[in-house]
Structure 1
Amino acid sequence: MTSIMTNTAAMGALQTLRSINSQMETTQDRISSGLRVGSAADNAAYWSIATTMRSDNKALSTVEDALGLGAAKTDVAYTAMENSKDVVDEIKKKLVAASEPGVDKSKIQKEIKELQSQLVSIAKSASFSGENWIYNDTNNTAATKSIVGSFNRDAQGNVSLTTLQFDTNKSSLIQVDSTGTNVTNGTGLLSSNMEYKLATNGATVTAGYSVLTMDITNMTMGALAEAISGVDATLLQMTDAAADLGALNSRVELQQNFVRDLSDSIEKGVGRLVDADMNEESTRLKALQTQQQLGIQALTIANTNSQNILSLFR
């Protein structure tokens, strides 16, 4: 039945055209944003997961920066420790030279004094971002330092931080009090009393001076031998401290690489959930454009049918 009051064909064509236009709008949004799930309305579950993981990834980016800062601190401390060890090695050589008969110890002492000043200079310079793991005073005491290593989220959604810790008492070379005087009974490797072992019975004996304060000008041959043993013991402790710093530096570097890879993996995972397949969307857009043209043609035909009724009355 043909009616001029109700154009059923036009209504059907218009409804189809509206559906096509709605799909085209969705497809165009995906193409322009690159996202298949751009809001909670698209897919609430995937949008919620993606939003949380993006937030966690930003936290991981901050962790990576913190690890970079920690790596810089350990690098500076390790470099200072290595250079200080070389200087103490030189002091040991001077002590051996001073043990030769007929040597002017006062001249060698002048060289040792310059090396002692160099040790202080190295230690004071080993500072990064206000922290010095080598030189300690009342404003920068030796303590356990923490480096943020990772950001964690458990199955219940609770978040936590993993930290890498290092006790700077192990790497402290020089400790001074409020007056700037070396703390000889502290744990600073250079400012504390030197320790050495007697070859006869292995007993530990403490000398009354440190690497930084010793003066060999009037030392006897026996005292020089004791000083060499003390400096050698200090070198062994410095080697251990350098090994600890090197191990921490390696751990920080490994953690940096892990955090960087983890961040990339999270980003890829989020992309699989919400990113649009541009090949698929472009193909769909072409199909919808064709359907739109056909829908417009169908609506035109449906509207023309009612006008054709006029020809029946001519």
Structure 2
Amino acid sequence: MTSILTNSAAMAALQTLRSINTNMEDVQSRISSGYRVETAADNAAYWSIATTMRSDNTALSTVQDALGLGAAKVDTSYAGMSSAIEVVSEIKAKLVAAREPGVDKTKINKELNELKNQLASAAESASFSGENWLYNDTTTPAGIKSIVASFNRSTNGSVSVTTLDYDTAESILIDTQNSSLGQLTKGVAVEQGAAVGTGTANATYHLVLVSGGTAPTGSVLIDLTSTTPDDDVDGMISAVDAMLSNLTDAASTLGAITSRIDMQENFVANLMDVIDKGVGRLVDADMNEESTRLKALQTQQQLGIQALSIANTNSENILRLFQQ
């Protein structure tokens, strides 16, 4: 039946055209945003996963910054420690020179004093972002320093932060408040003279005495005079050698931490890339596919418009019947 009140063909063509236009809007939105899943309405499960992982990646970015800050602190401490090792080695050489017969020990002592000043300067200058792992001038003993190393999410959804810890008590060279806590200010017990080889220390020496500070109990400052006995010089050499060994161990620890931080930085960077790639697989639009779909929809749209136009000509055909 043909009706002038209800054009079924036009209604069907219009409904099809509306569906095509809706699909075109979806495709154009994906192309403009680059996302296949942009909102929770697109795919609630994938959107939830992507949102959570993007948040975790932001946290990992902060971890990366924290690792960079920690690396700077460790590098600064290592540079100061490396300088101290060179100076202490030079002090050791000067003390060995003082054992030579007829040498002027007072002149060597002047050199020693300058080298000690250099040690104090290097230790005090090794500061980064308000932290100094080589020099302590507060009443609070140097303690554990933590560097944020990673952000973790467990299988049950709980999150945690992992830190890389370092005990600065191993690297403090000078402690102005408590001389026994500094590698260069504390007393080092050694064997000298007749006690060498007996396993019993009979002398204690310290290398640096901070202005206004108190010397360790029973310890003697490494200092030369024209009458310093050779046995005492030998004891000083042994004490400085022990200090040098301790500094070398501390520098090795700092070097190991630097290596660990470098590895963790690389891991965090790779992990962030992997997470980005995984999120992209879930929510990113395939532009090749979307462009092909858009071209097909444009063709369908043109055909739908043409079908609607044909359906609307039925009324004109009826009018011609009455005109005849």
Shorter-chain TM range is over 0.9
2:199 aligned residue (197, 202, 221): 202
| TM-aligned CA distance change 1:140 to 1:262, over 3 Å | farther
SS of the residue 1:124 aligns to: helix
| TM-aligned CA distance change 1:101 to 1:166, over 3 Å | same
Is the contact made by 1:126 and 1:132 (CA closer than 8 Å) also made in structure 2? Answer: yes
1:214 aligned residue (196, 219, 222): 222
Aligned twin of 2:255: 246
Cα distance between partner residues in 2 of 1:72 and 1:233: 28
| TM-aligned CA distance change 1:41 to 1:75, over 3 Å | same
1:304 aligned residue (313, 318, 321): 313
SS of the residue 1:56 aligns to: helix
Q: Which amino acid aligns with 1:287?
A: A
| TM-aligned CA distance change 1:251 to 1:117, over 3 Å | same
Residue by residue over 1:260-313, the C-alpha shift from the partner in whole angstroms, topping out at 9 and shown as x without a partner, is 100110010000000000000001000000000000000000011111111111
Shift of 1:211: 4.6
**Mapped pair 1:272 → 2:266:** no
Aligned twin of 2:213: none
SS of the residue 2:166 aligns to: strand
Q: Which amino acid aligns with 1:288?
A: L
Cα distance between partner residues in 1 of 2:140 and 2:66: 20
Aligned twin of 1:149: 149
Q: Which amino acid aligns with 2:197?
A: T
Shift of 1:206: 4.6
SS of the residue 2:185 aligns to: coil
| TM-aligned CA distance change 1:4 to 1:299, over 3 Å | same
Aligned twin of 2:18: 18
RMSD: 1.3
Q: How many residues are aligned here?
A: 308
Residue by residue over 1:54-109, the C-alpha shift from the partner in whole angstroms, topping out at 9 and shown as x without a partner, is 00000000000000000000000011111100000000000000110100100000
| TM-aligned CA distance change 1:204 to 1:18, over 3 Å | farther
Q: Which runs of 4+ in 1 moved over 4 A?
A: none
Which shows bigger deviation, 189-198 or 244-253?
A: 189-198
Aligned twin of 1:189: 183
Aligned twin of 1:256: 265
Residue by residue over 1:126-179, the C-alpha shift from the partner in whole angstroms, topping out at 9 and shown as x without a partner, is 0000000000111674100000000011122111001000000011111002xx
Cα distance between partner residues in 2 of 1:147 and 1:43: 39
Shift of 1:195: 3.1
Question: Please, what TM-score do these two structures have when normalized by structure 1?
Answer: 0.95
Residue by residue over 1:223-245, the C-alpha shift from the partner in whole angstroms, topping out at 9 and shown as x without a partner, is 00000000000000000000011
| TM-aligned CA distance change 1:206 to 1:45, over 3 Å | farther
Aligned twin of 2:32: 32
Question: Please, what TM-score do these two structures have when normalized by structure 2?
Answer: 0.92
Structure 1: gaps (5+ residues): 178-182
Cα distance between partner residues in 2 of 1:241 and 1:208: 20
**Mapped pair 1:287 → 2:296:** yes
| TM-aligned CA distance change 1:140 to 1:132, over 3 Å | farther
Shift of 1:24: 0.2
SS of the residue 1:283 aligns to: helix
Cα distance between partner residues in 1 of 2:20 and 2:123: 74
Shift of 1:210: 2.7
Cα distance between partner residues in 1 of 2:10 and 2:152: 59
